[in-house]
Amino acid sequence: AGLAGMLLGRAISNILTCPPFIACCPPSQGLSVDPKKLAPYWPAATAIGPQAYDLQPEDIEVMVAGEGADGGGCLRGWLFEPKGDTKAVILMAHGAGRDRRSWLRMIPFLSQAGYTCIAFDFRNHGVSDPLDKPGCSLGLVESRDFGAMCKYVRQRFSNNKIVLIGTSTGAVSCVISIATDPEVATIASCAILENPFMSIEQLSRDMVSNLIFQKLICRDCLLAYWLLYPFMVFVRFFTVMHVKRTLGPLGMERVPACVEAIKQVRQVPLMLMHGEEDRIVPLHHGVEVARVGGIEDVWLCKGSDHCQLWDTDRKEYESRVLTFIAKHIK
């Protein structure tokens, strides 16, 4: 049981920090079009790119300074200008294993509403620079990337209000960046958090529970639950231990978890959205982050899975997002 627990814990942590669908390509190659690397819920047009949405973005590059074990690198993204005057600039951060295309299906309604949109790839994703190790640090390095992008946006659009929006790891990175970098906190007029997770440790534990009780056995079988519970605790321990060992050099002990960092985000108005049927980041993560952060503007989308709120209820999503932004950029 001990060896099995160690091996399963290692396998789960590897999936968490280096999902099989993650892709990092050189700029000369372009964004991956491998179906195995694309989100299954993305419309076919998303893989094609901005032209499929009749969008013509400007390519941008932003350098991230090195820090500790992180040697820095170049972030690459798209800048979409509205046809008329810009009401505000929206900086958009994707989730683990995805890239800037995550936002293509939402950018048209934001652009039509008069907002400049900037979507970029975190390092180790899309065509931004790779790190020394493959995979995703679940907000540790990504929060530094997000901070660098915020400062670029402020420098380029010094006369415009700036709105931040992130999904999953992107949402967590947004929170950590605001909480740990005073300059970022002064840049943001407001921020929208979509399905953030409480902490890497809690996400690891929930991943174990999901695999064992919802995938391998019947979730309603009480006998199996009590028989396997000690084993599950063992696997949880090794999963968290291996995640810490993998991400430790990147500053896991120094960077606060989202559920702790959110306590420091008092000066930036927040909205939190979470899918009630989220199988990757269970609903209780978003509920707890909202509770701890004192977030009053919360939308729990019925029937929505991970990162699929817009796809589930497009009308409600767009209405809530536009209303929230308009309220806080006056």
Distance CA 275, CA 280 (A): 10
Looking at residue 186, what is its pLDDT? 97
Instruction: Indicate the CATH number for domain 2-328.
Output: 3.40.50.1820
| 193: amino acid identity, one letter | L
**Full strand arrangement of the beta sheet holding 88-93:** 58-64, 73-80, 115-120, 88-93, 162-167, 188-194, 270-275, 297-301
Q: Locate 291 and state its tokens.
A: 């509770």
| Cα-based distances in Å from 223 to 1, 213, 217 | 18, 12, 11
Q: Which pLDDT tens digit goes with each residue over 135-153?
A: 898 999 999 999 999 999 9
> pTM (2 decimals)?
0.92
Let me know: does 217 contact 226? Beta carbons within 8 Å.
no
* Weakly modelled stretches of the chain, pLDDT under 70: 1-2, 5, 68-69, 211-229, 231-232, 242
Looking at residue 319, what is its pLDDT? 99
Distance CA 266, CA 29 (A): 42
Q: Please name every residue paired with 117 in a beta bridge, in sequence order, or none if there are none.
A: 80, 90
Q: Locate 249 and state its tokens.
A: 């050099």
Q: Which pLDDT tens digit goes with each residue over 155-189?
A: 999 999 999 999 999 999 999 999 999 999 999 99
Looking at residue 260, what is its pLDDT? 98
- Environment class of residue 303 by beta-carbon count within 10 Å: exposed (0-12), middle (13-18) or buried (19+)? exposed
